[in-house]
Amino acid sequence: MALPTRRLGSLTVSAVGLGCMGLSHGYDVIPSAEESARLLNRALDLGVTMLDTAALYGGGANERLLGGAVMHRRSEFTLASKCVLDMVDGKRVLDGSPAAIARTLDAALARLCTDFIDLYYLHRLDPNVPVEESVGALVRAREAGKIGAIGLSEMSAATIRRAHAVHPIAAVQSEYSPFSRNVEIAVLDTCRELGIGFVAFSPTARGLLADAIRDDAWAAGDLRRTMPRFTGENLAHNLRVGAAFNAIAQECGITPAQLSLAWVLAKAPFIVPIPGTRRIAHLEENLVAATIALDDEATARIDALFTGDAIRGARYSAAAQAQIDTERFPGE
């Protein structure tokens, strides 16, 4: 099966990719390796040609999962992973030094059972290391034949420009959905100007725009229990906005998840959303969005619904936000 394609720098990928984090990290239930392998292979069968992972996810478990599940089909997909954020001795570490990047990359290649990663991101900006030094480490890895394209994750327009001056950046990855619009401040315009692709993670707002959240009874390991938007009165308010979004989806004859993904895809031809899921039925539902042409009226209604301070609560906790370089709206 073939999906429409889009460009990320020199890479051509399916218009909708697959974010693999949730198969090993971040949410309430981690599926078995067998279930995850079935989902990953079904994604490839359905024409997904971009799989996104990171050293951080599950402390290497997610890369190891892909290494065991799909590397026999290595020629069928673009492999993306990330460094700088890592797990060391069971603790989350932010280290953008060239030495740390080299260690993380070599460990990732071993876990992934490959000798080449097509797109390798700096997962976060390390404020203690000039971004030029971190990008320089990736340039050397590229020259050594270990990686192909270079990417950045959750970085500001100013940082993107600094990095791009060292080496052309193929893709910038950040959160983007009708619910989370920070990249509209400056990042999307910068990507458009410099010819950089944009990869949208959490394009269904961590499930809220997929009609998958009812309350804040999060399991102990669920990231959303630490995110102000997904707890208490903030969540109660945001769910009411979500209900209005669901009504638009019903009028369009599609699911809320498909509407959110179609909205992201309609924003620019250089945007590739990478929704994650643990269920094959949801995977199949999401991929339909690659063929949905959202009309201007529906797009305008969604934009109006989420305008201004319609959403309450910050994207991240104060501690997590300290590692985010992307621009913020007033009050965040």
Distances (CA, A) of 321 to 124, 135, 272, 324: 11, 22, 24, 5
- Residue 321 main-chain phi, psi, to 5 deg: -65, -25
Please say whether the beta carbons of 138 and 166 come within 8 A.
no
User: How far apart, in whole angstroms, are the C-alpha atoms of residue 257 and residue 177?
Assistant: 11
How many other β-carbons are positioned within 10 Å of the β-carbon of residue 329?
14
Nearest to 165 by CA among 131, 189, 124, 142: 131
What spatial distance separates the first Cα and last Cα of the chain, rounded to whole Å?
42
- 57, 120, 121, 316: which one is catalytic? 57
Nearest to 283 by CA among 14, 16, 1: 16
Q: What is the DSSP letter of 177?
A: B
Q: Which residues contact 107 (CB under 8 A, 6 or more apart)?
A: 55, 60
Is 316 considered catalytic here? no
Nearest to 275 by CA among 188, 209, 196, 189: 209
Please say whether the beta carbons of 101 and 135 come within 8 A.
no
Please say whether the beta carbons of 122 and 130 come within 8 A.
no
- Residues designated as active site: 57
